[in-house]
């Protein structure tokens, strides 16, 4: 169901240059689990659009299928949205972008959507340099179908039912850099201070921008993967009492100093090791970026921040030499060659 929030405008709410408040960028009430990282990301998107004075109706929100793909209903109510089919949002975005490049395209996807069923479309949208912001709300699990492993889940981790993940993860950031993405960042849904500027940067960027955002699933991937103890079950019996029961939780938030690596405790006591990009790091050198990601992965750390940026890239519409005037505004007299030309064509065929 979609729920609409009552609009109570407080006269003292902060306004941006368009005279809009953050409220004007909101969407419907989220139906995701309380405490879901995806809702934090939606809030960051709202904040980024507010701060950048984006006109919401000039935004197209696109998604595939999965928990993450529901998220576009929960921000920017004044924008058109398209919740397409599983893993195929990149092709919708490609076609829409070619038809009208004047809109801002926000694609919201998940790890199942982008790293498994839709990995082909994901890669090809990158290599075509579709001008869009592509969010992967990465929780390592299939939430809507009750907690199966996704392709970004780490090799050592276990699922909620204690089963081992037998296959190594796909690192979306290094893959995207190799495929030619021109803005690649990783962040954590609980780190608003880091994420909002990264989103703002991605919106401002022209070309394919990937935001790989670790976004914990409070319901299905919120357990201590190193233990399957009795204690664990006892301490979380709300979740395990009945498989499809969704426990209440709080949003995960963290704050830490620049340049330092920190461990973030999740609801259930499991940990994420996060490290920010070093200030000396040059994010315009793809080779360095890949090396850094690889090194940190080896150390068991997750590197977050802006990992790679190429500001000289040509977006798809430029590569294809499309006019400044969007294709969807061309009129019949600009499109149809008419009967005289057809007579000429007929002559050539006789």
Partner 1 sequence: MENPVKVDAINSLNDFVIKFANVNGTGSASANQMFAKSIFRMGIPISPKNIFPSNIQGLPTWFEVRVNNKGYLGSRGGVDIAVAMNPQTYSQDVEEISEGGYLLYDSTWKRNFNRDDITIIEIPLTQLCVDSFTNAKQRALFKNIAYVGALSPLLEIEYEVLEKLISEQFVNKPALIEPNIKALNIGRDYVLKNLPYPLGINVKREDKLKDKILVSGNDACGLGAVYGGATFCSWYPITPSTSVAEGFEKYASKYRVDSQTGKNNYISLQAEDELAAVGMAIGANWNGARGFTATSGPGISLMSEFLGLAYFAEVPLVLFNIQRGGPSTGMPTRTQQSDILSCAYASHGDTKHVLLFPEDPQECFEFSAEAFNLAERLQTPVFVISDLDIGMNDWVTDKFEWDDEQKYDRGKVLKAEDLDQMDNFGRYLDIDDDGICYRTYPGTHPEKGAFFTRGTSHDEYARYTENGDINEQTLTRLVKKFRTASELVPNPIINLSEKQGSSGVIFYGSTSAAMYEAKDILIENNIDVDLMRIRSFPFNLDVWEFIENHDLIYVIEQNRDSQMRTLIMAEGGISAEKLRSLVWFNGDPIQAKFIAKKIYERESQQALIT
Q: Which residues of this protein are in contact with partner 1, per CB under 8 A? A: 1-2, 55, 57-58, 60, 72-73, 77-85, 88, 90-100, 102-103, 120-121, 124, 128, 320-324, 327-328, 330, 332, 334-339, 341-342, 345-346, 349-350
Task: For the CB of residue 347, give the shortest distance to partner 1 in the complex, in Å.
Answer: 9
Distance CA 240, CA 242 (A): 5
What DSSP assignment string belongs to 289-320? HHHHHHHHHHTT-EEEEEEEE-TTPPPHHHHT
For partner 1, give the closer residue by CB, 76 or 303.
Answer: 76
For partner 1, give the closer residue by CB, 97 or 159.
Answer: 97
Smallest CA-to-CA distance from 71 within 40, 92, 94, 111 is with 40
Asked whether 86 and 40 are in contact (CB, 8 A), the reply is: no
60 Cα distance to chain centroid: 14
Asked whether 276 and 259 are in contact (CB, 8 A), the reply is: yes
Asked whether 206 and 315 are in contact (CB, 8 A), the reply is: yes
Q: Where does residue 144 rank: exposed (0-12), middle (13-18), buried (19+ CB within 10 A)?
A: middle
For partner 1, give the closer residue by CB, 106 or 213.
Answer: 106
For partner 1, give the closer residue by CB, 72 or 197.
Answer: 72
For partner 1, give the closer residue by CB, 78 or 240.
Answer: 78
Task: For the CB of residue 39, give the shortest distance to partner 1 in the complex, in Å.
Answer: 17
Task: For the CB of residue 169, give the shortest distance to partner 1 in the complex, in Å.
Answer: 23
Task: For the CB of residue 134, give the shortest distance to partner 1 in the complex, in Å.
Answer: 14
Task: For the CB of residue 119, give the shortest distance to partner 1 in the complex, in Å.
Answer: 11
Distance CA 305, CA 316 (A): 26
For partner 1, give the closer residue by CB, 13 or 320.
Answer: 320
Task: For the CB of residue 19, give the shortest distance to partner 1 in the complex, in Å.
Answer: 12
Task: For the CB of residue 142, give the shortest distance to partner 1 in the complex, in Å.
Answer: 17
Integer-rounded Cα radius of gyration of the chain: 22
For partner 1, give the closer residue by CB, 251 or 318.
Answer: 318
Count each helix (H run) and each strand (E run) in the chain, helices first.
Answer: 13, 11
For partner 1, give the closer residue by CB, 237 or 346.
Answer: 346
For partner 1, give the closer residue by CB, 85 or 170.
Answer: 85
Helices in the chain by DSSP H: which ranges?
Answer: 37-51, 67-70, 89-99, 111, 119-127, 172-179, 192-204, 230-235, 237-241, 286-298, 316-319, 332-335, 338-348
DSSP E strand boundaries for 150-283 = 183-188, 208-214, 261-265, 271-276
Distance CA 21, CA 338 (A): 50
Task: For the CB of residue 329, give the shortest distance to partner 1 in the complex, in Å.
Answer: 8
Task: For the CB of residue 232, give the shortest distance to partner 1 in the complex, in Å.
Answer: 34
Distance CA 135, CA 211 (A): 5
């Amino acid at each position: 169901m979609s729920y609409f929030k009552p609009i109570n405008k407080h006269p003292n709410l902060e306004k941006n240059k368009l005279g809009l408040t953050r409220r004007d960028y909101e969407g419907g009430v989220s139906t995701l689990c309380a405490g879901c990282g995806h809702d934090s990301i939606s809030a960051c998107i709202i904040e980024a659009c507010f701060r950048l004075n984006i006109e919401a109706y000039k935004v197209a929100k696109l998604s595939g299928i999965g928990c993450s793909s529901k998220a576009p209903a929960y921000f920017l109510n004044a924008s058109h949205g398209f919740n397409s089919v599983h893993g195929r949002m990149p092709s919708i975005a490609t076609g829409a972008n070619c038809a009208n490049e004047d809109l801002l395209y926000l694609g919201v996807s998940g790890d199942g959507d982008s790293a498994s069923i839709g990995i082909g479309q994901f890669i090809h949208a990158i290599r075509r340099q579709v001008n869009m912001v592509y969010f992967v709300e990465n929780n390592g699990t299939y939430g809507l179908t009750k907690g199966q492993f996704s392709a970004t889940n780490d090799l050592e981790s276990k699922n909620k039912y204690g089963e081992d993940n037998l296959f190594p993860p796909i690192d979306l950031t290094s893959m995207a850099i190799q495929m030619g993405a021109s803005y690649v960042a990783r962040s954590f849904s609980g780190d608003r201070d880091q994420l909002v500027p990264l989103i703002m940067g991605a919106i401002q960027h022209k070309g394919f921008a990937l935001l790989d955002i670790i976004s914990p699933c409070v319901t299905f991937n919120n357990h201590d993967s190193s233990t399957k103890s009795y204690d664990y079950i006892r301490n979380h019996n709300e979740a395990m009492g009945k498989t499809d029961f969704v426990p209440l939780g709080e949003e995960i938030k963290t704050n830490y100093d620049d340049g330092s690596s920190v461990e973030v405790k999740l609801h259930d006591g499991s940990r994420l090791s996060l490290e920010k990009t070093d200030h000396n790091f040059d994010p315009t050198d793809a080779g360095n970026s890949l090396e850094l990601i690889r090194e940190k992965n080896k150390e068991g750390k997750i590197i977050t921040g802006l990992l790679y940026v190429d500001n000289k890239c040509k977006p798809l519409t430029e590569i294809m030499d499309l006019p400044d005037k969007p294709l969807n505004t061309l009129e019949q007299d600009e499109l149809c060659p008419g009967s005289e030309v057809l007579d000429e064509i007929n002559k050539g065929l006789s």
